[in-house]
Amino acid sequence: MESLTLSFIRFLFGTIEHFAPSVAGRVAFYLFCRTPNPEKVSAKERAAIKAAEPFMAQAKRHFLASHEGQTIVAHEFAPASRGMRTPIALVVHGWRSRADHMRNVIGSLQANGFRVVAVDLPGHGQSSGRRLHMRDAVAALHAVARKFGPFEVIVGHSFGGAVAINAVCGSISGIEPVRAERLALISAPSSIPGIFRHFGDMLGLGTRSYRALCERIERIAGRPLDAFVGANQLAEAGLPALVIHAPDDKEVPVREARAYAASGANVKLYLADGLGHRRILADRDVLAQTVNFALGERRLALVG
C-alpha cells in the first residue's frame, strides 16, 4: 500500500511539473515540513515514552515563545552535584523524536555536573505545531538560549546536530547566533542540500518543481540551499566539535561524518561500530566520549 501511495504521489508531481511547478514546489515543501500526528503514536513509541516518564518527571518544564507563535517546551535538569560554577549543556533531539529519547545523554551529562536543558523541537514532544523546518528549529534554540545560554556544549542527534550547527553559525537570516563553546554531533547529517535532493528524487520532482522547492527554502531561510552544508559551516566557525557516527547507520550515511572530520583540525571523529542510528544514544562508550568532550578542560581537573 505504501509503495502504491508513493507511486501515485510521484505521478501527481510528474503531472504538475508540466503546468504548475511553483505549486509542486510549495506542496513538496509542505510535505517535507509536516510532522507526525501526536495522537497517532505506535505501541513501541508509546512504551518508550512511558519508560522515560520517571526520568523526565525530575525536569522542570519551561514553555517558551518562539517563531510565528510556536510554543517550545524546554526540560531543565539540575546537576547531580554542584561545583563553584555549573556548566550548562543543551541537548537537541532529531526528526520524529523528542527530549525523552535523549534521556541517556541527558543523564550522563547530569551525573557529571552539568545543568542540562533538553528542548522539544516544534511539532515534536510537548512543543506546539505540526511543522518543522530549519528556521523553526534554529528559532527554537535561540528562544532556549535567551533563557539559559550561553552553553558549554550543545549535543545534537541526527537532524538536531544539523540544527545545532546552524544555530551557532547564525546561518538563518534575522536570527542571532547561539553561543556555545563546543558541539557534539551524534549521527548528524552534513549536507542539507543532499537531504532535499533525495527527497525530491523520492517524490519524482522535475527540474522546475525542484527549483521552486529550493527557491521557497531560500525565501524562508534567507540564504540559498547550497549554503547549508554542515562541514563547510563547521570549518568556517572553527568551533571544537566531536562527531560520533555508526558505519552501519542506515538513515544518515557515515560519509556525512567523514565529511565533517575532513573539514578541519577542530573536528574529532569517533566511529561507533554496529550501533545504527538510534541504539547509539544508549551506548556506554558513546556516552563516555560525549561527556569527556563536553567537560573539556574540566575533565583534567576532575581526574586530578
- Tens of pLDDT, residue by residue over 75-109, are 999 998 776 679 999 999 999 999 999 999 999 99
| pLDDT at residue 5 greater than cutoff 90 | no
Select from 140, 39, 67 the least CA-distant residue to 99: 140
* Residue 171, pLDDT score: 95
Q: Which residues pair with 154 in a beta bridge?
A: 90, 183
* Residue 7, pLDDT score: 86
46-191+229-303 adopts what CATH topology? Rossmann fold (3.40.50)
Mean pLDDT of 28-44: 90
Domain edges within the chain: 1-33+193-223, 46-191+229-303
* Euclidean distance between CA atoms 187 and 170, whole angstroms: 22
C-alpha cell at 211: 527549483
Strands (E), the chain: 60-65, 71-77, 88-92, 115-120, 151-157, 180-186, 241-245, 267-271
Per residue in 138-194, pLDDT (tens digit) is 999 999 999 999 999 999 999 999 999 999 999 999 999 999 999 999 999 999 999
113 close to 177: Cβ distance less than 8 angstroms? no
* Euclidean distance between CA atoms 110 and 118, whole angstroms: 11
Mean pLDDT of 249-265: 97
| pTM, 2 dp | 0.94
